[in-house]
Chains A and B, each alone.
Chain A
Amino acid sequence: AQKVTQAQTEISVVEKEDVTLDCVYETRDTTYYLFWYKQPPSGELVFLIRRNSFDEQNEISGRYSWNFQKSTSSFNFTITASQVVDSAVYFCALSEPQTGANNLFFGTGTRLTVIP
């Protein structure tokens, strides 16, 4: 079973629009970590945010915000006033420390295109 589901394969928005990228996860562990990474066209993965399972407080960083809801097993990512530089593939990932290996389980990614 897929541990991390990103149902949106591709999204296109016009510059300055807000956009939300969805992430739904599945785990039986009580302690886990969720991450968002950005992959620009150059290919490297850029870390955006980490959230542990005990901290449901939403977070805002500039134009980025994250909404963590354990009740729905979701960790959604919103970009406000999108810019062309936000165009990339965004990955949500889950880490289950109790497995002992700190392996990351990635979703299939959402390709965001911001049209100028």
Chain B
Amino acid sequence: DGGITQSPKYLFRKEGQNVTLSCEQNLNHDAMYWYRQDPGQGLRLIYYSQIVNDFQKGDIAEGYSVSREKKESFPLTVTSAQKNPTAFYLCASISAGGWNQPQHFGDGTRLSIL
């Protein structure tokens, strides 16, 4: 079945360590998104990419980095510069020009600090 796969489901980060969250989709979607969700808050956009080898900062990009080398993959790196990384991270995708279509979401990765 087509969908979005996020891994790992749970991730722990030590102080000063970079960690990478994986997001893979087999929906042939062009655009992909990373959101952060904190308790009691809605989803906030970290980065998005509309085509391969191109990506844009969202509202809270500081302390994060992404790459889009393949259409299917949009990994998110939480760097040591992100001082409060504990959150639930969701990846989403949508086909190009599908402005009226819903974004498809993965199951999320829960990141915690050791």
Q: When each residue 33-77 of chain B gets 1 if its CB lies under 8 Å from chain A and 0 otherwise, what string results?
A: 101000011111100101000001010000000000000000000
Which single member of B42, B58, B102 contacts A50 (CB below 8 Å)?
Answer: B102
**In the assembled complex, which residues on chain A have CB atoms less than 8 Å from the CB atom of B105?**
37, 44-45
> DSSP majority for the B interface?
strand
Q: Do residues B102 and A47 form an inter-chain contact, with CB atoms below 8 A? A: yes
- Nearest chain B CB to A48's CB is how many angstroms away? 9
Interface of chain B residues 80 through 99 with chain A (CB within 8 A):
88, 90, 92, 94, 98-99
Q: Given contacts A43-B108, A102-B31, are A50 and B40 in contact (CB under 8 A)?
A: no
- Nearest chain A CB to B89's CB is how many angstroms away? 10
Q: Do residues A52 and B100 form an inter-chain contact, with CB atoms below 8 A? A: yes
**In the assembled complex, which residues on chain B have CB atoms less than 8 Å from the CB atom of A33?**
99-100
How many pairs, one residue from A and one from B, have CB atoms within 8 Å of each other in the complex? Answer: 64
- Nearest chain B CB to A59's CB is how many angstroms away? 14
Interface of chain A residues 15 through 53 with chain B (CB within 8 A):
33, 35, 37, 42-45, 47, 50, 52
Q: Do residues B33 and A95 form an inter-chain contact, with CB atoms below 8 A? A: no
- Nearest chain A CB to B48's CB is how many angstroms away? 6
- Report the separation of the CA atoms of residues A102 and B31 in the bound assembly, to the nearest whole angstrom: 9
Q: Do residues A43 and B99 form an inter-chain contact, with CB atoms below 8 A? A: no
- Nearest chain B CB to A101's CB is how many angstroms away? 6
Q: Return the 8 tightest CB-CB contacts between A and B, nearest first.
A: A106-B42, A97-B99, A47-B102, A45-B105, A43-B108, A106-B43, A108-B42, A44-B107
- Chain B positions near chain A (C-beta within 8 angstroms): 31, 33, 35, 40-45, 48, 50, 56, 58, 88, 90, 92, 94, 98-108, 110
